[in-house]
Amino acid sequence: ARRRMHRAFLPDPLPREQIDRIANVIRHAPSGGFSQGASIVVVTEQETRQAIARAFGDEHYSTGGRSFVADAPVHMVISANEALYHARYNEADKLAATGGVEVTWPVPYWFVDAGALMMLVLMAAIDEGLASAFVGHPDQKRIFDELLGLPEEVVPIGLAVVGRPGEAPPPGSRMKERQRSLDDLIHRQRW
């Protein structure tokens, strides 16, 4: 119930141990067939965080003259690697269960698992008494490839920003107005 996308952070650095506890939730993230295809790049260096914020468009993420993306002392780039899923599902134990052919993927589980990891990171930040948000950019693959040297097969699903909460304006009633009813979101027994 405390989870929300926070839009203001104090720029104070966080202790390495705290950052590690958040990033280490990757060990508890679900992974189809234990493919372990999700990854995190932890960025604490101020120059790189500012470069990411500029590439994402500071002005779009600014409130009160501050960019919450640049201010957040920890950036965690959450990524998926599809190739690791195909490699895992072409191992003998998986092929034996499917008659010698790779499973047909009904949805791209590499993105499903990376999304689950993202939520674990956001929740771990809350467990640490911190605030967090998740943002994306249409050109994030190129941005993170250039700034962080991501391998070609690694696809970033977005950026989790973490830090001590700054003073953010309240979300206001506009969010309540946009909120869909539970009857539209939860269906019981049938659609």
Among 30, 22, 64, residue whose Cα is nearest residue 160: 22
> What pLDDT shows up at residue 176?
66
Residue 95's CB is within 10 A of a number of other CB atoms, namely 14
What is the rounded CA–CA span in Å between residue 29 and residue 171? 30
> What pLDDT shows up at residue 67?
83
Length of the chain: 191
Q: Tell me the pLDDT of the chain (191 aa) as tens digits.
A: 666 677 889 999 999 999 999 999 999 999 999 999 999 999 999 999 999 999 998 766 566 667 889 999 999 999 999 999 999 999 999 999 999 999 999 999 999 999 999 999 999 999 999 999 999 999 999 999 999 999 999 999 999 999 999 887 666 555 667 778 888 888 889 89
3-class DSSP state for residue 42?
strand
Amino acid letter, 130: L
Amino acid letter, 39: S
Angle at 189 between CA 188 and CA 191, to 5 degrees: 75
And the tokens for 71?
């201010």
